[in-house]
């Protein structure tokens, strides 16, 4: 059922990703203008991600009727399939953001989705099926949902579950999202729908991120008052200044509980670029332009945390071990599962972008 109140009015808040989770959702890729070679390489990568997560929590994969048999062939038998209409496979952005209350109840939020910019700079059209996915999943989960009155994607927000929300000005204040809203008005909506009390605005997201700078490519909250930040020491890399501007904001901010924020610098891979044979396998379209030599938005921060397990993108043999070691030192009680995901990166994101967690509910 669609509710006419707000989560804050009803006592619901946005739990942290490191809080207990009971399930994860993905969607099966098939767009030929985003995934090369009829999406076959991407499907193999998505299947490996889904199968690995399914070892920790139950996984459900949304899939089209045309792709159901292929998905069933590649996915573990215990991974559930749900036939559903959608436009592309970025479940973080099209799936529901789940909020919880102290009684263990769950409700979903269906953000307005316009393919990361609508008519201004959106990546594809139509996006009408994507805009309905969150409601459909809430119906499948048999939970009520809120229909937010503004455009937002799940990849644009990170929380500590204790009142602090992290985002970027580049994304939430972009002209393709909510051009009629001020920053203060957006903050009020975030408070109303996520139950947060403080927003920490970082200036920009990862360099060349085609989502207008989603936070989940730049930063990941791994504990209250503790984040990892995409980083490079190469002064000639455009990311160099972006990361330092983000660090300046973080070290000069207090979170919602008046804590200073510990920042762990996580190296970016590469830089990585789209190869000629990879670009040749993508069907050209108006919104998503893919060309050989294009800088890819590679980031180790785009991992998923589920019940003390980190599912980490494996992107560059030179930096993969360093990223894994830094995360293991920061979270010694966590298991880290590295998964090769270049094929996901070619589509514009990574493991965090293609997943959406369903929390167990209860106090966080």
Residue of 138, 171, 317, 353 with catalytic role: 353
Location of structure tokens 């707000």:
6
Tokens of 38: 């009829």
Cis ω on the peptide bond leading into residue 78 (within 30° of 0)?
no
- DSSP for residue 23: E
The torsion angle over the Cα atoms of residues 315, 172, 261 and 335, rounded to 10 degrees, is: -30
Location of structure tokens 């009971």:
22
Q: In what order do the strands lie in the sheet with 97-100?
A: 2-3, 145-151, 106-112, 97-100
Annotation says 353 is catalytic = yes
CA distance 245 to 129: 37
Cis ω on the peptide bond leading into residue 271 (within 30° of 0)?
yes
Under a CB-based contact definition with an 8 Å cutoff, are residues 259 and 225 in contact?
yes
Active site residues: 353
């Amino acid at each position: 059922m669609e509710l006419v109140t707000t989560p804050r009015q009803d006592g619901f808040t946005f739990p942290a990703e490191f809080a207990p989770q009971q399930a994860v959702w993905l969607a099966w890729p098939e767009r030929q203008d985003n995934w090369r070679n009829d999406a076959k390489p991407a499907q193999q990568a998505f299947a490996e991600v889904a199968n690995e997560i399914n070892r920790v929590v139950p996984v459900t994969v949304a899939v089209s009727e045309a792709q159901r048999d292929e998905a069933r062939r590649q996915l573990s038998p215990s991974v559930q399939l749900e036939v559903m209409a959608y436009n592309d496979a970025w479940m973080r952005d099209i799936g529901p953001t789940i909020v919880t209350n102290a009684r263990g109840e769950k409700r979903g939020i269906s953000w307005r989705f316009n393919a990361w910019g609508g008519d201004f700079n959106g990546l594809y059209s139509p996006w009408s099926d994507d805009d309905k996915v969150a409601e459909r999943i809430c119906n499948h989960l048999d939970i009520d949902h809120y229909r937010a009155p503004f455009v937002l994607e799940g990849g644009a927000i990170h929380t500590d579950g204790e009142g602090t929300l992290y985002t970027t000005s580049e994304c939430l204040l972009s002209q393709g999202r909510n051009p009629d809203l001020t920053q203060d008005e957006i903050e009020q909506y975030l408070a109303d729908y996520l139950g947060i009390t403080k927003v920490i605005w970082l200036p920009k997201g990862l360099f060349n991120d085609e989502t207008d700078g989603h936070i989940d490519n730049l930063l990941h909250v791994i504990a209250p008052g503790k984040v990892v930040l995409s980083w490079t020491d190469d002064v000639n890399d455009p990311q160099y200044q972006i990361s330092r501007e983000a660090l300046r904001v973080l070290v000069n901010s207090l979170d919602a509980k008046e804590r200073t924020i510990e920042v762990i610098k996580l190296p970016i891979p590469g830089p990585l670029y789209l190869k000629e044979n990879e670009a040749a396998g993508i069907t050209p379209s108006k919104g998503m332009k893919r060309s050989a030599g294009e800088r890819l938005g590679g980031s180790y921060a785009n991992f998923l945390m589920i019940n003390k397990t980190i599912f980490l993108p494996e992107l560059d043999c030179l930096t993969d071990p360093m990223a894994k070691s830094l995360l293991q030192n920061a979270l010694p009680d966590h298991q880290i599962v590295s998964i090769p995901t270049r094929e996901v990166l070619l589509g514009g994101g990574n493991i965090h972008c293609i997943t959406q967690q369903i929390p167990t509910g209860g106090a966080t």
